[in-house]
Structures are given as C-alpha cells and as structure tokens.
Amino acid sequence: MNRRKPCSCFRKLLSLNVLPAQEITMTSNIVKNWFANDFSKLAPELQALHQYGGKLVGKVDVVLGTGIAGILGKRLQAKLNLPPVGTNDLCVTISHSDVGLHWDRKFNNTTEMKSTFEPIKTIKDGYWIEKTGPLQMKLTVDIKDHGWYWRCLSFSLFGVLLPVWMFPKSKAYKYIEEGGYKFYVGFEAPVIGLLLSYSGTLQKQ
C-alpha cells in the first residue's frame, strides 16, 4: 500500500462516512449518567431532550466561507450531506441505542445526516467519542449559561492519534432561548477562516 501524501488533512476529513444508528430507543439515562451531578446545570429542556429523546423541527441556515475557504467548505458540505447554502427545512430525531446517543437529521424532507456519540465514563474523567468512518473525535462538554458547548480533545485516524491542529477547528453548541432550541456548528481553518457553518432555531414537535 502506498504511503499517504503528507499534505491533505482536509482531503482525509472529507472522505469519511457517518455511522448509522442501531437498535434505537427513545428513553435512556446515558447522557444523564455521563454528566452526573452536572446534568442539573443544563436547561430543563435540554435535560428532557437528551433523556427522553424527541423530535425538533425548524429552519437551518447553511453558510460557506469565501475564496479557498469556500471551496474546502463546499467539499465538506457535500461529504456531510448538508443542503444548499441558504435557509432550509430541518427535522432532527434524537434517540439512543447500546452504541450511544443518536442525532438523525433530515433536511428539506429528503437529505439525511446522521451522527452517533458514545459516552465514556463521566464528565469529570471521561469524554464522548464521535465516530465518522476511520476518524474518531474525542469530545468533552463545557456547560455555559445552561447551554451545551462541545470542546474537541483529540483526533485519531485509523487508530493513530493525530494533533488537533491537523484538522479544521470546529465550534458547536446548543442552548435554549425563549423556548427554542438554538444551535450552531461551524468549521474554521487557520489563516483562511470559516469553511462552513450551519445554525438555526428549532422547536420541539
């Protein structure tokens, strides 16, 4: 097998697939158990959503960067199966399985994007593993003003630990505002800035 060319961390990121959900159930304490006593610091609506599952609906705004950042963002957009730039319909189903927490998104009632998060230990000494093909991201959560803010701890590719600087910086959070579920997910690269983001406000159905 030929050795990988040393340049393109973006190419490796964009070639990955999202794992499907398995043996889905709605109610579970896996999120509550991971947060332990800190679970009560989350907004009540976030607590209920992550313990009992449910469905969120609303609009999502997809934004691309400019120049080279926009070209890379467009490739990432395609690989993540995100809808076109602009405002789109979004339905998210939150559920659980023996694998972990599942977020299954459907855009414009056609395009799907699925994510699976596996909890390890608790918030004090553990993390979440988001698996995307051969890529694994180790994540923890910061609670700010009752909101949920993801923070990346490390990446591994084909089981090999890689430094965070080799991949685009991600920012992701969710919180409750006036009864609505507000979220943001964005990817940035050094120097060139924003590659891609998607964000919006959803309502529980």
Domains of the chain: 24-204 (2.40.128)
Q: Measuring CA to CA, which residue among 168, 146, 164 is closest to residue 154?
A: 164
Q: What is the DSSP string of 1-58?
A: -PPPPSS-HHHHHHT--PPPP-S-BS--SHHHHHHGGGGGGS-HHHHHHHHH-EEEEE
Q: What is the number of other CB atoms lying within 10 angstroms of the CB of residue 86?
A: 9
Helix, strand and coil content of the chain, in percent to the nearest 5, comes to 20, 50, 30
Amino acid at 187: F
The answer to whether 51 and 32 have CB atoms below 8 angstroms apart is yes
3-state secondary structure of 167: coil
Structure tokens at 11: 């190419």
Structure tokens at 159: 């089981």
Q: What is the pTM of this model?
A: 0.82
Report pLDDT for 24: 61
**165/122 Cα distance (integer angstroms):** 26
Report pLDDT for 88: 98
Per-residue pLDDT of the chain (205 residues; tens, 9 = 90+): 454 444 444 444 444 444 343 456 778 999 999 999 999 999 999 999 999 999 999 999 999 999 999 999 998 888 888 999 999 999 999 999 988 999 999 999 999 988 889 999 999 999 999 876 556 788 999 999 999 999 988 877 677 877 766 677 889 999 999 999 999 999 898 889 999 999 999 999 9
